Amino acid sequence: MAEFYREEAQTILENLSSMPFENCYPLSREFLDVPTSPGLYAVLHQTQGVLYIGMATKLRRRFRDGHKAFFWSFLEYYSPDEIRIAAIGVTIERFDLKALRRLEDIETLMIRVARPRYNSRIK
């Protein structure tokens, strides 16, 4: 893995985890407020912080299609009002495998640092 992404991963993680809760995307059935672009995201709890970190080539579709972090958090009796999505969109040209690999590396580094409770495995 490219270690030179470490600083970028740390910056993105800090930006996601420090995003004001009220500025994050609320949960909904269709997630219409969530961008359709590729990006890195964090599922945040209002007081407990980062619950899950991930990346998606289409953020809105990632949440519309179902997301295990939401299922697990509801099993823990969190209210939907206590959970929001923080996202940072990125620009990736279609079929740019190098850019996708970079995002995967950054996601892995962020998970290693933050160790969110709903990421099932640390890469």
- Give me the residue spans of the domains in the chain: 3-114
Determine contact, residues 4/104, Cβ cutoff 8 Å.
Answer: no
For domain 3-114, the CATH class is: alpha beta
Q: Are strands 49-56 and 83-89 parallel, antiparallel or unpaired?
A: unpaired
Q: What is the pTM of this model?
A: 0.84
- Burial class of residue 95 in the structure, from the number of CB atoms within 10 Å of its CB (0-12 exposed, 13-18 middle, 19+ buried): exposed
Identity at 92, one-letter amino acid code: I
The string of pLDDT tens digits covering residues 32-60 is: 999 998 889 999 999 999 999 999 989 99
Cα 61 off chain centre by? 13
Q: Residue type at 35? A: P
Q: Which helix or strand (DSSP H or E) is residue 41 part of?
A: strand 39-45
pLDDT tens column, 9-34? 999 999 999 999 999 999 888 899 99
